[in-house]
Structure 1
Amino acid sequence: MTVIPRSLDISPEEREDFLVIYNDDFVHITSNILNISSTWELLHKEQAANLGGTLLQILETTGFLLAGQIKNTTHRFNSSEVQMSVFALTWNSTKDVVDLFLPDDHQATSFRLPKDFGSLLQENSTQVRLVSFSVEQRSAMRALPATRNRDMAYGTYKEMNSPLISVSAGGVGQQINFTELHDSATIRFEHSFPEAGPIYRDLFREQRPGERATPVPLKATCAYWDTQDGQWSPDGCYVINTTRDVTYCACQHLTMFAILTDIHHYVGRDRVLDTLGTVLSSISCISLFIAFGIFQFYKSIASPRVSITKQLCVALGLAHLLLLFLLDRDFLKLSESVCSVSAMALHYWLMASLFWMLAEGFHLLQTVSDVLSHASYMPAYWLLGYGVPAIVVMVTLLVSYDQGHWSCQAAYAPPHSEYCWLSTEDGYIWTFTGPLIVVTVVSNFAYLNTFNMMITLRTASTLRTNKQKTRGEQIRLWVKGSFSLNCLLGTTWVFGFLYMNTGHVFAYIFTIFNASQGLMILILHCIVNDSVREAIVNSLPDRLSKYLKKQGPSQGLRAKVVPGQESSTPVVILVRKADNTLTLRNGTPGSPPPTKSQKRKRLLGKMQQWQEAASPESRRTSLESFESTSSSSNDEGGAAEEVATPWMPDSSRYIPGFEAILECDERSPRSEQRLSFFQ
């Protein structure tokens, strides 16, 4: 180290040369001290902060010694850990914005001084003196521990995620505040470690071998080192903008600055959540398998609605299996390539389940609004359920490969991702979130229209029937409808996004609701479904089947739509023939088939009612429909199951109940046939 001579009989040029050598030596000494980790690990945090702060203040003082000897020039000193620049600027140059790039003009970290900042300095010289230095992140953390801070949440878990930057003007210890200029200094920090992982701090898993704790995204804090208190403080600084790689800060004063951020904390596995998810997902998969078997092997309940529900069981079952075994990459210790393929498969099957739910909503709306149509929409439903998800996955891959120059994809389970799932960066997560929102909105619209038609077209007799139901039956209907919407619309995945963006508590809600979907489908579509129960009972051995039928009355189509117990009430009878087809005729509940004369007499009476209430077009359509259904019912012989629905003499058209439409749709022997109700 060169010693500055005390003699004053030297020229300014020689003194400047000595100070240049002195600053260069001191920068290297400071770098060596900060680079020896063992020097700082043995010290307490408070001792390290005091020694580190003093060392950097001495470094600043040596810089101002040189700044006082130069004019209109700049000196730079570089070492492995510390880089320092000493500036001498003219007063006129401070009237414009001054940009300092640290440690040199090719670095991404920069410091912008506001306009006319020189007016805040003492005007005792023709030069504006500036000293700036930067310290590498790993060395700065040893000298100025980030855990020594005030007014910061989770202060004990803070870490520095940028180089340390110091800018001082005027002289040693001179305080400058930009409040008088109504402006502030702007600092651009490039993160030492890119932020990665979820945006919450606690990770409920073990740290992987060789893994370094990553900074929490969007948690960067702009702070300065308070030399008096020996700790970091955010006072006078705030974040302008932050990304995973860069943070922009604005500060009202000059001193030493850095970015402090939260670091992910590995708290270990949540055994309760793991057990709950495993049990519920297993039950859900088993329930979906049972429901699929019932829909597949009991041909008597075949219908478009059953076919859609069957495909929904397939998509949800495979999605739950992937969620159970392959979502958590640490469960089976998956490699990055296998995890990416698993994420792609999970994306596809979750999308397929969403669009089959949408097909369910379309089918219910079409069934209620167009009961006279014989068209089959199953090919369109298949294309919607399996074709659209494939297109979404392929487009996601193409976009991802294009951004990665066709070398690798970053959409599915990128490196350092927590789960085998879509990346939350670059908007890839919207390839699932977008369809989820669209399907939820459209499905809700379809169901609201369905319920609106049910309420609008409900007859007084139907209302009377509902009033005659017990409170338990009403609650059963309400619960069935609520859980059906919950399962079909997929709103439980909203809790998944809340979990990703908030905290761990939503993980329990998401796990319970999402993993219980299979069980709910088995209950709502099989156990409480009367036609499915009837088909199962009929397939049992005769003795057991008769025993079960004796234990309780049939809950089939008859019990659902009979409006009252009075046998004299005029009704339209729904008859199931021997070949399992459905037709309509006039009669009363439990009465034998009417004779031809009775049919003709009733027909004339109904025609007179139609002439009084309906237009010529509707009378013509209604007459043709009624004659066709009457003739078809007259030709059928043998016993037939009768189901009564109310006839309203003062109404211009007959509208069947919603439950009757669904039951008739389920009992249709072919997907292209449904019950035709006349107007």
Structure 2
Amino acid sequence: MNLACIPVQGQETSEDECPATEYTTTTDGSTTTEQSTTDSSTTGPTTTEETTTGPTTTEETTTGPTTTEETTTGPTTTEETTTGQTTTEETTTGPTTTEETTTGPTTTEETTTGPTTTEETTTGPTTTEETTTGPTTTEETTTGPTTTEETTTGPTTTEETTTGLTTTEESTTGPTTTERKKESTTGPTTTEETTTGPTTTEETTTGPTTTEETTTGPTTTEETTTGPTTTEETTTGPTTTEETTTGPTTTEETTTGPTTTEETTTGPTTTEETTTGLTTTEESTTGPTTTEETTTGPTTTEETTTGPTTTEETTTGPTTTEETTTGPTTTEETTTGLTTTEESTTGPTTTEETTTGPTTTEETTTGPTTTEETTTGPTTTEETTTGPTTTEETTTGLTTTEESTTGPTTTEETTTGPTTTEETTTGPTTTEETTTGPTTTEETTTGSTTTEETTTGPTTTEETTTGSTTTEKTTTGPTTTEGTTTGPTTTEETTTGPTTTEETTTGPTTTEETTTGLTTTEESTTGTEESTTTPTTITDGSVGTPITLKPAAKFRQPCITSTTVPVPTTNSTTMTPTTPRTTTSTPPSCRSCDVKCIATDARNRTWDPCPGETQTKNCSEGADGTEVWTCDCDGRFTTPQPNDSGCKSRWLKEALELAENIQDLHINQNITEMIRGNTRPNYYGHEIEDVLVGLLPTVVQKASNLTHLVEEFKPIADDVVNITYIVTQFSEPWQGLDNKNRSRFATILLQNIESVSFNLTGISSCDPTSSTRMEEFIHHIYLNETYFVTSALISNDVSDDRPEFPKFNMSKGTVLRLPPNWGREISGKVDWTGSLIDAEYASYILPLQSEGNRETIYNGNLISFTVSRTRSSCDSIDEDRKVELNFTNGPGVQIIFPHRVEAWGDKTANLHRDLKPGEERMAALGSARCVFWDTVNLTWSTEGCKVIASTPFETTCECDHLTSFAILMDLHNYRTACFIFGFLTHYVFLAAFCWMALEGWYLYKVIINVFNNVLPRRSWIYNLIGYGVPLVMVGITLLIGYIFGEGDVYGGEVCWLAGSYIWAFNGPVLIVVVANISILTICMVTAHRVRKSRQFPMLKRRVSSLSTYNGKLTGLQVAE
């Protein structure tokens, strides 16, 4: 045989080098040696041609040890008659109805319903469960020592080659032409089918609306798939291999074993496929719309070809398979066995399939609307080719050869071998099912775009490929199978080696997975944010050497490194854009550690990880676990504070354990004292809920169940109040929470205080040693001058004029008074409880509400008061006794709040000023608001509350109900008014001095030009300088303050320039003053010089005049 004529991946053979090949098969016994020649030439756009060669000759009529008759009728009718030791009947009717039933010693039942829903459960001697959910996720591939799977997807071209011990070559070329010796069937809608074997095969094909299939046996497989676009299948078996490929276009799969080779090629254009086994496999199909396949072997070969609206099913094995497929809308399949395996996959675009059998290989190919499945038995070779128009198939075996060629809407079915094969093809919504092996497996796949297959077993290899463009899969066992998958983004993958299985998944959402070893199973799930391969080819090979998997695209963040996978091991690399919590190696984009992330956390610890790293530190003293803080590639921490969710305080853990096992009605006093003695917080923000929801209610409930004596329960109440105080002692854990959690935890805290107080009053009413008149239990804790106090009171008499809470003078004056005649709202014996929380604690427990530029504070303690009926019986611990009092029709509850900060002035009359040393900011007297805590909306509300009176030192509120109350006031800080005033003052003074500079300049010009003092009067120039220059200087001052983040440029008592910004005024003034002094000096010197220069000529004139006068006088005297 000319080996050059064997198609090689990526090469083509010419007809000159590879003429028609003759195959000679020699049989002993009654069978003689025959030689058959196969030529391929097909003409016509919808012609189908097929050639089958084997130990016996196959023509349009199949002959063997048993007789086979084949009849093809009409464009829409198919008749088939199979004769042998037993009879085979098959009827194909119309484009709308197909029924198929196969019975045998072992029955398999399958039902498929719904246009897009399929559920399947397959169980075998070994149980495997797997669930995959996701809108576009396909996962699971299982390979065994004798199993190989391969999938080819892509809208364009797929090539696949599998070589074995013996080679058979078949080549068909031509865009739409197929020739076959001695057999040719043409027709646009023709269906041919031949079934031979020692047992009976009955098949019925029904239209695009109804398909039913049932397979039963000692080991039953049940599968049901429901959902708009979901198909699930589960297959378990000792040596099962399943592979599923889903995508918007094409999916191919091939599985090879010691004697099994499966191959599927789908695509709207060309598919080439060659399969060789012990005695068979090489096939080449070329042409834009044509697919040809030939499978030969010592045993049975099945091949099914379906078009864009075709469904194929093949069932082979030593037992009988009965299958019915109904309608394009519903598909149900159920397979049951000794051991049950269930797998459910839900998602808008997910389909899973499972095939079981000791040496079973399954392959599924899905296209835009096509789903194919093929299952072969222990010695079965299956091949499926789907395309939009033409499908050809040839199957040869020891005694049986069937061939069917159909047009653009052709359905073909072939069953060969000593066992029975049944197949059903349904309408435009495709469903394929294959059940193989001594243990029956049924599988149903429905949906217009999704098909998934899963095979599990003790030596199972699972592989799943998802993506909108490209999917690669190669699985090899002791017998190697090579596959190539090409698409618009080409991917080639080859795996060789007796124990190597390699799987790679690439696409816009890519997952890379490699499975090696005889019993290795790998699974990879990809999301929407995974690495994307470039439009170039990626090839992965495994020949017993390490393989390096590298991401095809760089992520800017997070920093992820490549993974090296040696053989035979199982490694999976999933690239996701999430930030790792543990320290990772620095990626190429973060190699430099020149600029570290350096910061100090709230517990005063320094962190300095390099960019791209996550630093880990032990939790603070008294806690177990670790904290982490991640530095991104830009040299900044990803979160404001380290992630301390992994820390657990030891004292809290011990307290929770003690609370669960409390026996002596008292929490460990040593723990309480140790907690109180700390000067820094010894718990974390996320643990506040553990204390409030887990510890305190447990203590109160168990203690209430254990005692009815006040003296025994009082220590419990003390401990609860102590722990509540501890929780509110430090602000750091609370400030690490968001406002929503702070509000929720604070509400629980108030409810816990109320609960323990009511339990105390309830026990008091049942304690015979307790006074029946009035008793008050006060629990208070002092820390410097701040405190946390609660009070519980029980009374038989509700006729008090105006009862007050609290009844002691330790509340700094905060008092709540009930209205007169409040007892009309309630009758009988009552309890009440109240609590006070210092304003400083309340400020970080309950979020404050600020509006605009107003800064709001608690200007008084938070007070809470609740009334309830006394417990009806000592056993009614969980009785709801709370009373809702409403005072809307008369005087309400009055609360007097002494101010923490003195208030003065109207809220619109004051300007911001600097505080003096030790001085607190003043509150705006007119801004007082009486509020209550709304436990439903978790916010402060003014509904039902109003201000009765307000002075600089206290405010009196009145509310028409009982709950938790507070007084809110604004602080004086009117930045807008101060800014405007400071801006105008700065500008006006600068303008004044600027005009002074202009006047000095004018005076200087007048003096210098003494003989020409007529200056041009250009007033617009002086106006521009006198008013424009000051405006520019003020703007520069504000800009500098903005750049350096100092918004308070104007401050002080008169909103003038603060700090160093005073030089924005002093500097220009100093320049103007110096300039004017200089001009004044110049003017004085000039004036002095002028004066001196004018005195000398006048003296000469006076002397000359005097001389003339003297001369005249002398002349007069002489004359006389």
TM-score (norm 1): 0.37
User: TM-score under structure 2 normalisation?
Assistant: 0.23
Higher helix share: 1
Q: Which one scores higher on RCO, CA 8 angstroms, separation ≥ 6? A: 1
Task: Indicate the structure with greater strand content.
Answer: 2
